Amino acid sequence: MVCARAVFRHIRHGAKLHPIEGQPHAAGLPPPRSTSMSRLAGKRTLITGGTSGIGLETARQFLAEGARVIVTGNNPESIANAKAALGAEVLVLRADSASVAAQQQLAQAVQAHYGQLDIAFLNAGVSVWAPIEDWTEQAFDASFAINVKGPYFLMQALLPVFANPAAVVLNTSINAHVGTARSSVYAATKAAFLSMAKTLSSELLRAASASTRSAPARWKPRCTTSSASPTHTATRSTRTSPPPSRSAASAPRTR
């Protein structure tokens, strides 16, 4: 599981795509170090898959740092729990990550609520592990729809909503780099997500440069890419900061 504080290490000034990778969070570890309560003061944030696990803890930390928060989920029970845990100041929305139409509606809801968006943490996803002989076309397509297609079209729908500057954080996995048995489909979705961080950063950087020549740019990104080995991953931009590694999970899980 990703420590929520890892997300903060990948939010910098400027519109960027940040691939991050999780690490196990052992029971009994001390809580994150206290930080300035105003570091994210007034920042308008969106956390997909924010009603449980990584996303819910990130929402708590964003709130503690002064941010305004929208979280999404798709499970009625986790949505109800998140509403109770986060309080009335947080907008909790139901959104199907596999549905392009639902992601477009989410972008519209974000715009209606905030006007513009400063930070998007694209965390919603499903982790299904199975040997190749057990995969069906339906299950394969569902994993790619939730982990790849939905987030891609959410980013597309958010383009006119992002503030200048803005930050996008993508939750990837060490499984994009290592050949763990039974992870073939999950790893492929995360490799695709990691690739998006590289290609879309480059694309948005060029778009901002072209826009700047004729009008104030909506985006002012600093391009990020990712390099990794089975034991180390680093996100490179104008600054370099290593995210924690993520170990494989043996059981299916969603967020």
Active site residue 114: no
Catalytic residue among 8, 121, 129, 186: 186
Specify whether domain 39-226 bears CATH 3.40.50.720.
yes
Lookup: tokens for 166: 């803005």
R_g of the chain, CA atoms, integer Å: 17
Q: What is the pTM of this model?
A: 0.74
Question: Do 55 and 47 touch, CB atoms closer than 8 A?
Answer: yes
> Could you list the pLDDT tens digit for every one of the 255 residues in the chain?
344 444 444 444 444 565 655 543 434 444 554 455 789 999 999 999 999 999 999 999 999 999 999 999 999 999 999 999 999 999 999 999 999 999 999 999 999 999 999 999 999 999 999 999 999 999 999 999 999 999 999 999 999 999 988 999 999 999 899 989 999 999 999 999 999 998 998 887 766 555 444 333 344 443 333 333 332 333 333 222 333 333 333 345 566
CA distance linking residue 198 with residue 196, whole number of Å: 5
Is residue 127 classed as helix, strand or coil in its secondary structure? strand
CA nearest neighbour of 235 among 21, 34, 1:
21
Paired residues of 69 in beta bridges: 45
Predicted confidence at residue 224, as pLDDT, reads: 34
Per-domain boundaries in the chain: 39-226
**Helix ranges restricted to H, 40-170:** 53-64, 76-86, 100-114, 137-144, 150-158
CA distance linking residue 183 with residue 132, whole number of Å: 9
CA distance linking residue 53 with residue 78, whole number of Å: 10
Predicted confidence at residue 244, as pLDDT, reads: 35
Predicted confidence at residue 166, as pLDDT, reads: 92
